[in-house]
Amino acid sequence: MIGVKIKGNYNVGVEEVAIPDVGSHQVIIQTEASTICGSDLHFYRSPSIEMGNRVNFIAGHEGSGIVHKIGDHVENIKVGDRVAIFHRYGCGVCENCIKGWPQYCKEGKSTTLVMGQSVIPWKSSGTFAEYILCPSDVCFKIPDSINFEAGSIIGCNGITAYSIITKLGIKSGDIVGIFGLGPLGITASMILNGMGAIPIGIDLSLERRKLAEKLGLPYSANNISKLGDSIDIISHKRYEIDVTIDFTGNSNAINDAIRIVKPLGKVGLVGIGPGLESTVIKPTQFLEKGVTISGILVGNIHNMYDIIRFVDKHNIDFSKMITDRFKLSEAIKAFTIAEKGTEGKIAFIK
């Protein structure tokens, strides 16, 4: 089969690789769609020297497809099922794994499926390939109303956006400022729309603002003062921004997100960008206003059931944010376009 490996230094390799064997508690999925994530781009940009043995593995952690083969002791799914995949797993038996947080596995066995970084290659393989190997318990059945492209987005962007929204306790009617209208910001705004909140967004890219507005974002701006003005327009100067969520990981955006939220408001941090490590947040910025700051990297795996039900019930189609579709053999072009940062989601399709 064809598989795509991320090599770092803005290189990807399209290679012929063997279809993996299925083992106990594992499944092989015939890939119908897989999507490129910001995390994949992080490794794509990384200097080759920092890539380590990742360069040897098929990349990709967002994918969906049809169950092709199951190993022994697989009971939650059967051959022919349509499934979306959650991209993390751990030991499966420690307290954090049982509670749905394999990323914080107490046995130190947290593994990502796979940003070209599987430490246990016989346990899972990346989604940028014709077939995916993974543990059966990261597979979730999706109803016919959810197409495969949307299913791919659900397993990373979908669950991450859903998790920060629920963690922040956002409710119907809340005004939510979204910093960064890339795929993750657009995913959040579609979920917020579905639940009756009012998302407004900020992004420097006109293309991304237009796409977000086309998908239901009521208002977007390219700078913070215009975003502030929009609240006055929307609410006739009666309301303020209840919650802000940063999906950029940019230092200025994070500080703006804290500055613009109302007193006693909430701020969610999700984005990982260059410069995040050196971002300085002054305690007086949020303690004087009584602001709550909360972060999340990846959602709780149990939220997969919730997000699948939510998008089904509210007729939300995440595939509408896909602007470019490629075959796996066109991976070099796909990554070049994704790297521009002006498009919506980029997908590999069968």
Q: Give residues in contact with Zn ion (CB under 5 A).
A: 37, 62, 90-91, 94, 97, 105, 107, 156
Which 3 state secondary structure label does DSSP give 41?
helix
Residue with Cβ nearer Zn ion (219 or 335): 335
* Nearer Cβ to Zn ion (91/337): 91
Distance CA(175)–CA(244), nearest Å, equals 9
Contact partners, residue 336, CB within 8 Å, separation at least 6: none
Shortest Cβ 283–Zn ion spacing (Å):
31
Residue nearest to Zn ion (CB): 37
Query: Which contiguous run of DSSP H or E holds residue 268?
Result: strand 266-269
CB of 197 to Zn ion, least distance (A): 23
Q: What is the DSSP string of 200-261?
A: EEE-S-HHHHHHHHHTT-SEEESSHHHHHHHHHHHHTT-----EEEE-S--HHHHHHHHHHS
Is the Cβ of residue 156 or residue 296 nearer to Zn ion in the bound state?
156
* Residue 156: CB minimum distance to Zn ion, A: 3
Judged by beta carbon, residue 291 or residue 334, the one nearer Zn ion is 334
Choose among 5, 65, 1: nearest CA to 33: 65
Which residues, other chains included, contact 295 with Cβ-Cβ below 8 Å and sequence gap of 6+? 268, 269, 270
CB of 2 to Zn ion, least distance (A): 21
The least CB distance from residue 284 to Zn ion, in Å, is: 34
Least distance to Zn ion, CB of residue 76, Å = 18
Q: For residues 123 and 266, which CB has a smaller minimum distance to Zn ion in the complex?
A: 123
- Residue 70 to residue 137: CA distance in whole angstroms: 12
CA distance 246 to 47: 26
For Zn ion, the closer CB: 8 or 155: 155
Q: Max alpha carbon distance in the chain (Å)? A: 62
